[in-house]
Structure 1
């Protein structure tokens, strides 16, 4: 479920083969799923699927994963709970899409700043923030727990730690770019930073799934 969730969460990559009209350098990933976008239904469905799969995988791990693979301590529980929160928030996020694409539509961004867009547009920002927070908590807690308890070496190894550090850097870039855009100072490569952010989450989920299946 975690591996399939990672694949579904990477569906945005197909934008390279679709005429979305959005710049991958400056646009939010979630703008692909906006209500006024031609492929919005595809990307919303992918996010819903990804969220439900990761939620189910995290809950299943909390209930049934053998303790010898990852001891059930406070840090591992927090990690799996973070992934469950990420999955649930991602599923909710897909049901609260943006109304339009603010980085590509001046009317949209004006309406956004004036508070004239539907409540679901603003709610999307909250659910997206919760999802990323859950992913970060899960990645940091489970990676450090794997290193602490000497289990799941492929997750605890240098590559797993590198993914976490890169994710923190990509998140910092994304937050700075969002702040710059909201202040009217351009996008600062917002699209690149956020795409790197979600790609790293997907790769880490795949690594976690591999570690569990191969018993490390």
Structure 2
């Protein structure tokens, strides 16, 4: 029974699907009235220490990260990836989950896009170490997500020889391309904000980025559930 359970694809698909769902918890800002403009603020600012719903969003980030990490590790046991794209993809997905969980434990102390005093403290180095560390963990999570999306999509495309390809093999390239565009938008907006040139709708770009990552995770989960990821 334990061996059969380990060989099943169901735990992987369930963990990834749950991870994708919880990773999308930021949409609750629509009904919670956070006071942050979704077009111009970082998604991470929802979980900042000084925000009214910060505890909620930190908890969902932690849960999402752990679910995705568990799903990726279980996939390694189940699929035993061998090719470069497969190994890179699942490893990146595990890093993405771990970094997302770490993000929740290293929250911003304040919301820089709406609080001028927060920017001053950042510049002067007067923010907590967790605030500074958040930049690195968040960057790692974003980078790992992009690498995982691209690598596993390529693996799915290369691994299919049958006429009926998996959902990931069919739709993955479009999602990956859109994710790359959203990432470039987000990075450009961050650079503009840090240079004092406005936000360039930073919030919209980053929210599109995380939304596409969640959609891709859902597609991956469904492809795994149908046991047609590579074959």
TM-score, with length taken from structure 1: 0.95
Alignment of 1:177-216 (within 5 A): 177-216=189-228
Offset at residue 176 of structure 1 (A)? 0.3
Could you tell me how far apart the structure 2 residues matched to 1:46 and 1:113 are? 29
**Other-structure match for 2:48:** 34
Find the aligned partners of 2:62 and 2:208 in 1 and give their Cα distance.
20
- Structure 1 unaligned regions, length at least 5: none
How far apart, CA to CA, are the structure 2 residues paired with 1:203 and 1:59?
20
Match of 2:176 in 1: 164
1:23 maps to what in 2?
A: 37
Alpha-carbon distance between aligned partners in 2 of 1:144 and 1:160, rounded to the nearest angstrom: 8
Q: Is 2:117 the counterpart of 1:104?
A: no
Deviation of the 1:15 alpha carbon: 0.1
CA distance in 2, matches of 1:115, 1:172: 27
Instruction: Say if 2:58 is the partner of 1:58.
Output: no
State the alpha-carbon separation in 1 of the partners of residues 41 and 158 from structure 2. 38
Distance 1:134 1:212 in 2: 20
Q: Deviations over 1:24-73 (max 9, x none)?
A: 010000000000000000000000000000000000000113x6xxx631
Identify the range of structure 1 (185-194 vs 146-155) with the bigger mean alpha-carbon deviation.
146-155
* Structure 1 Cα separation of the partners of residues 84 and 204 of structure 2: 35
Gaps of 5+ in 2: 1-14
Give distance in 1, aligned partners of 2:106 and 2:136. 10
Structure 1 distance, partners of 2:185, 2:148, is 20
Matched, 1:47 2:61: yes
**Post-superposition offset of 1:75:** 1.5
Q: Given the alignment of the two structures, is residue 148 of structure 1 paired with residue 152 of structure 2, yes or no?
A: no
1:150-175, CA deviations, whole angstroms, 9 ceiling, x for partnerless residues? 17621011x21110000000000000
TM-score (normalised: structure 2):
0.89
Matched with 1:74 is 84
Specify the SS of the correspondent of 1:109: helix
Q: Which runs of 4+ in 1 moved over 6 A?
A: none
- Name the larger-Rg structure: 2
CA deviation after TM superposition for structure 1 residue 74, in Å = 2.1
Which stretch has the larger CA shift, 109-118 or 122-131? 109-118
Q: CA deviation at 1:119?
A: 1.1
